[in-house]
């Protein structure tokens, strides 16, 4: 890579990480101001105050509370903001080169402007690679911590929730008074197996159940199983009670902890790796169509960001002197709506269109537009 390419690439990446850091600090500063009292209480609790007041809070404890809550969110912030921040970094880099007449010097040296902006496209490809690594390696490990709300900071644990009557792929109803995703534990488990007519075939109760990845089943603690004393297809008024008289050790189902978390939190799927999504798709407890959309959409979003960057470069990479403010307004008026509309189309299912086709529609439409914009650059 030549000196010119390295210079433009490093300036683009430097502007990106500088802008990204400023936006992230600005975002968490607003959150800290709004939730200041909760962060102070967390600091006081770390200092040994168990009364729930703010006495005993220290500056170091406050900094640790903010870092512990918002630190993992830098990876989530990168996931959502990378295309937009890259667009801003391109604008700052190209505008600076245009203002300092660097494009004129590049043309005088016999290098085309199209060749000069190529390092920024290469830098965007590198940021996309970093996005893939972030999605596959970091976010799945931090998914449980990213589910924490401000009210959960004092407890310092992942929030739990109750499981209503959820049916698995075999139609068995599962209920639990509490589900802890951190420990993959169900409390107050109650399971009912039914016939197609609604009659009870078997009932299982357990004080607690812990998920086993090796057995792909819930390991029951004090599990008891029972069947009706009479026929399960008897009329409702004539059914006999269920007697729990047989111990049971485990219960195999496709409702694993990831599936339960996915049903509770819609954003949870965006923090799963492709391997996790493929594992969930093998079971019928989650709509495989939605999972396929999640898997394809993350690559489509990266391509859309790259294409929007290519569409926006000609607004600043000019050979004639041009008011940069006007170019910035035009770039914003064109690129931001394209980026937002594309993300909406990628995220939301379209009627009468298959999920995979609906996700790639923005990519297919933007490819010729980006090629035309690059080809029409005056150079």
The reply to whether 221 falls in a domain is yes
- Both tokens of 256, joined, read 């694993």
Query: In the chain, what percentage of residues exceed pLDDT 90?
Result: 34
The reply to whether 245 falls in a domain is yes
The reply to whether 282 falls in a domain is no
Domain count, the chain: 2
CA distance 211 to 260: 12
Q: Domain range spanning residue 18?
A: 3-34+72-147+290-375
CA distance 25 to 185: 36
Statement to judge: residues 222 and 166 lie in one domain: yes
CA distance 183 to 296: 30
Statement to judge: residues 22 and 122 lie in one domain: yes
Statement to judge: residues 141 and 166 lie in one domain: no
Among the candidates 255, 274, 299, a domain finishes at 255
CA distance 284 to 171: 11
Q: What is the pLDDT of residue 192?
A: 87
- Predicted TM-score of the model (pTM): 0.76
Statement to judge: residues 26 and 125 lie in one domain: yes
The reply to whether 193 falls in a domain is yes
The reply to whether 357 falls in a domain is yes
The reply to whether 269 falls in a domain is no
Question: How far lies 15's CA from each of 11, 120, 123, 209, 221, in Å?
Answer: 6, 11, 11, 50, 55
User: Which residue numbers in the chain have pLDDT < 70?
Assistant: 1, 47-56, 150-159, 197-198, 227-244, 263-269, 280-287
The reply to whether 234 falls in a domain is yes
CA distance 111 to 13: 22
Question: How far lies 85's CA from each of 63, 333, 345, in Å?
Answer: 26, 16, 20
Statement to judge: residues 167 and 297 lie in one domain: no
The reply to whether 64 falls in a domain is no
Statement to judge: residues 297 and 239 lie in one domain: no
Statement to judge: residues 7 and 130 lie in one domain: yes
Q: What is the pLDDT of residue 232?
A: 47
Statement to judge: residues 141 and 7 lie in one domain: yes
Going by their DSSP bridges, the two strands 224-228 and 250-252 should be labelled as unpaired
Among the candidates 255, 282, 315, a domain finishes at 255
Which secondary-structure segment (H or E) carries 371? helix 355-375
Among the candidates 234, 255, 276, a domain finishes at 255
Q: What is the pLDDT of residue 1?
A: 57
Statement to judge: residues 138 and 244 lie in one domain: no
Q: What is the pLDDT of residue 149?
A: 74
Statement to judge: residues 132 and 191 lie in one domain: no
Radius of gyration for the alpha carbons in the chain, expressed in angstroms and rounded: 27
Statement to judge: residues 170 and 241 lie in one domain: yes
Statement to judge: residues 194 and 238 lie in one domain: yes
Q: What is the pLDDT of residue 58?
A: 78
């Amino acid at each position: 890579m030549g000196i010119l390419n390295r210079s433009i690439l490093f300036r683009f990446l430097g502007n990106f990480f500088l802008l990204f850091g400023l936006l992230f600090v600005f975002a968490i500063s607003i959150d800290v101001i709004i939730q200041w009292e909760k962060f102070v209480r967390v600091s006081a609790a770390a200092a040994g105050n168990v009364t729930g007041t703010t006495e005993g809070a220290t500056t170091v404890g406050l900094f640790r509370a903010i870092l512990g809550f918002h630190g993992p969110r830098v990876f989530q912030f990168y996931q959502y903001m990378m295309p937009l921040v890259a667009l801003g970094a391109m604008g700052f880099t190209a505008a600076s080169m245009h203002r300092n007449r660097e494009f004129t010097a590049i043309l005088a040296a016999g290098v085309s402007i199209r060749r000069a902006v190529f390092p920024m496209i290469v830098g965007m490809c590198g940021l996309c690679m970093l996005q893939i690594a972030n999605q596959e390696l970091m976010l799945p490990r931090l998914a449980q911590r990213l589910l924490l709300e401000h009210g959960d900071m004092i407890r310092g644990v992942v929030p739990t929730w109750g499981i209503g009557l959820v049916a698995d792929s075999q139609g068995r109803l599962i209920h639990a008074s509490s589900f802890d995703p951190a420990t993959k534990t169900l409390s107050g488990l109650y399971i009912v197996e039914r016939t197609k007519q609604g009659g009870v075939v078997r009932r299982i109760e357990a004080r607690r159940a812990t998920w086993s990845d090796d057995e792909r089943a819930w390991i029951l603690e004090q599990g008891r199983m029972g069947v009706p004393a009479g026929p399960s297809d008897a009329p409702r008024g004539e059914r006999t009670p269920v007697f729990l008289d047989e111990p049971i050790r485990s219960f195999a189902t496709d409702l694993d902890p990831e599936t339960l978390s996915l049903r509770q939190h819609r954003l949870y799927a965006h923090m799963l790796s492709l391997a996790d999504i493929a594992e969930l798709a093998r079971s019928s407890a989650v709509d495989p169509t939605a999972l396929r959309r999640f898997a394809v959409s993350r690559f489509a979003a990266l391509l859309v960001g790259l294409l929007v960057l290519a569409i926006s470069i000609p607004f600043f990479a000019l050979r004639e002197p041009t008011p940069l403010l006007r170019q910035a307004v035009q770039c914003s008026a064109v690129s931001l709506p394209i980026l937002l509309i594309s993300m909406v189309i990628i995220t939301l299912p379209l009627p009468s269109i298959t999920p995979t086709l609906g996700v790639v529609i923005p990519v297919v439409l933007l490819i010729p537009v980006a090629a035309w914009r690059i080809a029409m650059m005056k150079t």
